[in-house]
């Protein structure tokens, strides 16, 4: 599903500096001689996308969701795939409303386990850039994603795109700094992640984390980790 070119302006609050293009992220200005795609400058989005699994009702409505949409979104947590989030928002605000909401509210997508349809819902990403996302899979880490995307767009646009994606971290080798990059992570929980190393499988991770948080939170955290 492509982002709609004429989505209603639901998210003006707090986003006055946002200037996003729709359709193709880079208009494929290939040269006939080399076939290379030049680096182009892109409009940047406001930082700090809200997580649908963590944001409060006040934060969601301030970002432009209706009170009904915010209440329903919170009631059906956790969201483990972007397609689940889209179904929820489209059900309360319509297709155009859901797509407009992604300027401010987004569930980060796993670069190594995502559909093209989910990629195309990222604001400003079209067929050409979606192809580049997929071409370099599997990604080892976010540093690799940043290097590859920097071939096509400028540094500010790479930073913007990075807000929408993640690569699962290795539970047995990730640094404390890397663990803390998981949305909603704090030092206490990062300590618990490290305490039970080495992990032999994800069932062990679920058992150990289940001592500290409920099953929904374990499931939310699990999508950001892997055992390699």
Q: What is the pLDDT of residues 149-183, one digit of tens each?
A: 999 999 999 999 999 999 999 999 999 999 999 99
Task: Pick out the chain residues at pLDDT < 50.
Answer: 1-47
Model confidence, pTM:
0.78
Query: How high is the pLDDT of residue 136?
Result: 97
Q: Where do the structural domains in the chain lie, given as residue ranges?
A: 57-166, 170-226
- 216 closest CA partner among 89, 50, 80, 71: 80
**Cα 74 to Cα 57: distance, rounded to the nearest angstrom:** 7
- 161 closest CA partner among 20, 16, 28: 20
Which tokens is 102 given? 């992604």
**Cα 193 to Cα 208: distance, rounded to the nearest angstrom:** 9
Query: How high is the pLDDT of residue 116?
Result: 97
Query: How high is the pLDDT of residue 48?
Result: 82
Query: How high is the pLDDT of residue 221?
Result: 98
30 and 40 Cβ atoms separated by less than 8 Å: no
């Amino acid at each position: 599903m492509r982002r709609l070119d004429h989505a209603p302006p639901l998210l003006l609050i707090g986003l006055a500096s946002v200037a996003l293009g729709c359709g193709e992220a880079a208009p494929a200005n290939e040269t006939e001689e080399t076939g290379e795609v030049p680096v182009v400058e892109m409009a940047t989005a406001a930082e700090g996308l809200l997580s649908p699994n963590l944001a409060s009702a006040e934060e969601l409505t301030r970002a432009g969701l209706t009170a009904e949409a915010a209440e329903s979104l919170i009631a059906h947590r956790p969201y483990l795939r972007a397609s689940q989030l889209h179904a929820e928002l489209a059900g309360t605000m319509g297709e155009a409303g859901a797509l407009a909401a992604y300027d401010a509210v987004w569930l980060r997508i796993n670069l190594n386990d995502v559909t093209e349809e989910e990629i195309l819902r990222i604001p400003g990403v079209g067929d050409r850039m979606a192809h580049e996302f997929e071409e370099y899979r599997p990604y080892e880490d976010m540093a690799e994603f940043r290097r590859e995307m920097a071939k096509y767009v400028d540094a500010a646009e790479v930073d913007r795109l990075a807000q929408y994606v993640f690569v699962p971290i290795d539970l047995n080798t990730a640094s404390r700094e890397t663990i803390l990059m998981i949305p909603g992570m704090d030092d206490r929980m990062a300590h618990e992640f490290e305490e039970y190393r080495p992990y032999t499988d994800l069932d062990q991770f679920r058992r150990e984390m289940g001592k500290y948080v409920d099953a929904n939170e374990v499931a939310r955290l699990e999508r950001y980790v892997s055992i390699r």
